Amino acid sequence: MQKLFDSPAAALADVADGSSVAIAGFGVGHSYPNSLVIALRDQGARGLCIVANSLGAGGDFRPQILVQNDQVKRLVLSFSSRPGLPSPEEAKVAAGEIELELVPQGILVERMRAAGAGLPAFYSPVTVGTPLQAGKEVRSFGDRSFVLEHALPVDVALIRGYRADRFGNVEFRGSSAHFHASFAKAAKLAVVEVEEIVEPGVIAPERVGLPGIFVSRVVHTTTTYPAPKGLMGRRAADSNREYFGKPALSRSEMAQRVAAMLPDDAYVNLGSGLPTLVAGHTQGKTIILHAENGALGYDLLEDTTDLDVDFFDAAGNFIRMRPGGAVFDSVVSFEVARSGRLSAIVLGAYQVSAQGDLANWALPGQIGGGIGGAMDLAASGSHVIALMEHCDSKGNPKLVQTCSCPLTAPACVDVVVTDLAVLERIDGRFVVTALVEGFTRDEIQSITPMKIDFADQIRAM
């Protein structure tokens, strides 16, 4: 059996116009099959439907180049736009040149897994009560509503691994397995690029992350590209906003406050952006961090001169695994998330409503957005903490009676931590239980247009 090809170009020479192509990769630049992406650009197939978590950013070797080369007709993504990172796909979608379907990260991987497993559809609690529910069948099981999601088979999958043999058996490293296996299984033609091609038997059977029966072609990675910077959400951690002429907590102090709220031995997921800072205050504690790309039990790597590019969290930050930690793919990671096994989930937010509705993936009027894993996490039934500034950069309140931003999930937020206060949802209402020293109840109420109560005893933050 021979699945080895001499080059990425040879492996993709027969990709036809109009093909659906799944491209694995995480965040703005982690473990993309860059050599294959460049080969597909040079091959020139047109009218493609690209399925991906995101198209990456900031380089001429990530899937965005297919959009720039006018090869793409349709996109199925979890991230089509990111704050502060203008993208060619965002501009072309807005201009009506490319069709876009947004899919929550965990549902994307589940739709691919279903296709690989020969299952036509499944019901999911994710997207209930959100704009993404529109037009889909909804059915009740017990006392919960579920949305019907269809499998997502593709013609071609481009994936990346660590090592492979001529039978197509693939080994992954660290937390870089994420979407690769599920994408390959959903494809008629799965092509993998690897750092090393080895003889059969060199990869021990128990280390095979993707059996060769799912892999059509194997090529050697032709070019090494620089690692992403891995600092998402960790900038300006010590800056303070001012309200009423007085300084609020810094972003780092907010994160420290959340870390102090987490119980020992808690399993905790941290969303991208501001929640990522919480990880800097969990080192030395027994809190066990979970990342959607497939890591459990890790610490942020503060010295990135000592990084391993295959170990990163869902925000793209490089990590070091703790003793007793584990890595796995995104299928397993979202099994952990949606099954309610996490003790707490910390998410950023554009808005939180009086009913506990969460909105954190798009702004009103925005074309597309960045859903990521937030919808899957928020629908899990686990304890959800929203971590955000009390007002946005323009001074607009983020705690509102009713969300004007598209919802991530309804009635899911249990606690809100801002740079001014802690609010806990008790008996259906948010109650202020802690305030930053120097701020009064009247001041907080004046910039909080939702209905709130104040505890008899309010702690100082």
447/393 Cα distance (integer angstroms): 14
Q: Do 317 and 231 form a contact (C-beta atoms < 8 A)?
A: yes
SS3 204: coil
C-alpha dist (Å) from residue 102 to 190, 367, 430:
23, 10, 31
Amino acid at 451: K
339: tokens are: 């099954």
* DSSP strand pairing (288-291 vs 399-400): unpaired
Q: Is 302 part of the annotated catalytic residue set? A: no
Cβ neighbors of 450 (< 8 A, separation 6 or more) are 353, 354, 399, 400, 401, 430
CA 330 to chain CA mean position, Å: 10
Active-site pick, 292, 302, 335, 424: 292
Candidates 449, 391, 399, 395; CA nearest to 424 is 399
Q: Which residues make Cβ contacts (< 8 Å) with residue 15, sequence separation at least 6? A: 21, 40, 43, 45, 155, 156
- CA atoms of 446 and 443, how far apart (whole Å): 5
Distance of CA 111 to the CA centre of its chain: 16
Report d(CA 108, CA 75) in Å as an integer: 12
Phi, psi (rounded to 5 degrees) for 91: -65, -40
Containing H/E element for 374?
Answer: helix 374-378
Residues with catalytic function:
292
